[in-house]
Amino acid sequence: MKRNKSICVMGLGYIGLPTAALLANRNYQVHGVDVVQSTVDTINQGNIHIVEPELDIFVRSAVNSGNLKADILPQESDVFIIAVPTPFHEGFVPNIDYVIAAAKSIAPYVKEENIIILESTSPVGTTDKVNEVLQECGVDVSKIYVSHCPERVLPGHIMRELVENDRIVGGITPEATEVTAEFYRTFVSGEVLKTDAKTAEMAKLTENSYRDVNIAFANEISMLCDKFEINAWELIKLANRHPRVNILQPGPGVGGHCIAVDPWFIVHKGGKDAKIIRAAREINNHKTEWSIDKIKKSALAFKNKNGRPAKVACMGLSFKPNIDDLRESPALYITRKLVEGGIDVMAVEPNIDSHSEFEIVSDEVAINEADIIAYLVAHKEFKGIRIFGKNVLDFCGVTNGN
């Protein structure tokens, strides 16, 4: 595929915008689409609305070159990439409404030989559904190529991993797989692995479920260690000296749009046969509630001893260290529930300037004024801080060198 092809990227969030900016810097003509006008305006000014290292440089270069333009409506292109959110409804039922809406919105612009790629992490069968929606909208799907290629990047390293990571491409047809794989090879230095659409969908869900299961083991160990009055991080460090043991680090739960969400897609489809995956999700969700209870008990003990309510510093709101992403964040959930429970909370998040629900204060202010310091995210800014005369609750190992 020649690099002067045009590309329409549906969704300009944490995956869509980096992908659009990368492709535009590879001399593709990229038309980015987002439903939020302020996002469109920000990008067209050469700026970004999310925090990701190097993304601002890529976007500014892409916009200044004229290769990247954002809009609220799609346009005719050679390649359409759908990178919209896939959350879930009540009861962890997968919600592919945004994917269906994106498919319907591009249908009038799809023409023969176009490549339609679903990058959104999706339940098994979603790519087939996109194909079906396009057909229902009057597209001759026998003359286009519909495929799934799940994103596999780590926030904080997206621009590098978009290029270096291996990619899995699964088409509705073998021809779609081949054509789509050829497209990815124009900008991916990692290996492009070919399969069918359902296997590609299941691969991404399996990868994140595997990680969720392993985190659940670490979180369960940490709760048992608390019960036995053992330092969980020291225990894990010692156990990991075994040549065939590699226990992950515990935390106050699991967040983000991937690991906290994707396993439910398997559970919903797999039902009673997804036993371990369901149990892991339940353990990791329980760890968040357990953490809330731990903080509340500490606050109550302080009040009983000192005759006044405790001030609690919630250190970190994002779902993982050193990013601004709050999606499915256990730290944000914990902070919110403490406030709802009447606890006097000071929120600290060095990666954002403000939040609609909480006043964001600096770590210096929080540590000076709070009575209880609850480390919820192991941000680099929190490491090495020495605290005296305060009750410190460390749910992420930041005081243990993690």
Q: What is the pLDDT of residue 45?
A: 98
Whether 113 maps to a domain, the answer reads: yes
Average pLDDT score over residue span 356-363:
94
Please check whether residue 196 lies inside any domain of the structure.
Answer: no
Q: Which of 8, 149, 194, 204 is catalytic?
A: 204
Is 90 exceeded by the pLDDT of residue 325?
Answer: no
Nearest Cα to Cα of residue 394 among 289, 189, 272, 252: 252
Within-domain flag for 298:
yes
Task: Return the beta strands (E) in 24-176 as ranges.
Answer: 29-33, 68-71, 79-82, 88-89, 93-94, 115-118, 145-148, 167-171
Pair (261, 159) in one structural domain:
no
Asked whether residue 385 is domain-assigned, the answer is: yes
Q: Which of 190, 225, 259 is a domain's end point?
A: 190
Confidence of residue 266 (pLDDT cuts 50, 70, 90): very high
Q: Are 145 and 180 in contact (CB under 8 A)?
A: yes
Assess whether 81 and 168 both reside in one domain: yes
261 shares a domain with 153? no
Q: Is 258 a catalytic residue?
A: yes
Residues 107 and 247 in one domain: no
Does residue 258 register a pLDDT over 90?
no
With respect to residue 178, please indicate whether it lies within any of the assigned structural domains: yes
Measure the CA–CA gap between 251 and 253, rounded to whole angstroms.
5
Which is catalytic among the residues 8, 258, 314, 396? 258
- Give a yes or no: residue 195 inside a domain: no
Verify that 183 and 296 share a domain, yes or no. Answer: no
Any domain includes 131: yes
Last residue of one domain, picked from the residues 156, 190, 224: 190
Report residue 135: phi and psi, to 5°. -65, -40
Whether 129 and 273 map to the same domain: the answer is no
pLDDT at residue 391, as a whole number? 96
**Number of independent structural domains in the chain:** 2
Stretch 54-70: mean pLDDT, rounded?
Answer: 98
Given a cut of 70, is residue 323 above it in pLDDT? yes
In whole angstroms, give the CA distance from residue 68 to residue 30: 5
For residues 257 and 322, membership in a common domain is answered with yes
pLDDT at 401 over 80: no
Is 238 found in the same domain as 266? yes
pLDDT for 1: 45
Among residues of the chain, what percentage have pLDDT more than 90?
90
The percent of residues above 70 in pLDDT, for the chain, comes to 99
Do residues 157 and 210 share a domain? Answer: no
Angstrom distance (rounded) from CA 67 to CA 373:
48
CATH number of the domain to which 293 belongs: 3.40.50.720
Three-class secondary structure of residue 146 per DSSP? strand
Output the CA angle 254-36-144, nearest 5 degrees.
Answer: 85
| Secondary structure element (H or E) that encloses residue 260, with its range | none
In the sheet where 115-118 sits, what is the strand order?
A: 68-71, 29-33, 6-10, 79-82, 115-118, 145-148, 167-171, 192-196
Same domain, 15 and 89: yes
Q: Are residues 129 and 264 in the same domain?
A: no
Q: Is residue 198 part of a domain?
A: no
Q: Among 144, 163, 190, which residue terminates a domain? A: 190
Please state which of the ranges 1-5, 156-160, 327-331, 386-390 shows the lowest mean pLDDT.
1-5
The pTM is what? 0.90
Active site residue 204: yes
pLDDT band, very low/low/confident/very high, at 402 (cuts 50, 70, 90):
low
pLDDT category of residue 2 using cuts at 50, 70 and 90 = very low
Averaged pLDDT, 51-74: 96
Mean predicted confidence (pLDDT) in 342-351: 96
**What confidence tens digit (pLDDT) does each residue in 110-161 have?**
999 999 999 999 999 999 999 999 999 999 999 999 999 999 998 889 999 9
Distance CA 271, CA 35 (A): 34
- Model confidence at 40: pLDDT above 50: yes
Phi, psi of 362 (to 5 degrees): -75, 160
- Is residue 346 within 8 Å of 375, Cβ to Cβ? no
Q: What is the pLDDT of residue 271?
A: 94
pLDDT for 4: 52
Q: State the average pLDDT for the chain.
A: 95
The verdict on 356 and 379 lying in the same domain is: yes
Give, for 261, the enclosing helix (H) or strand (E): none
pLDDT band at 334 (very low <50, low <70, confident <90, very high): very high
Which range of residues forms the domain containing residue 118? 6-190
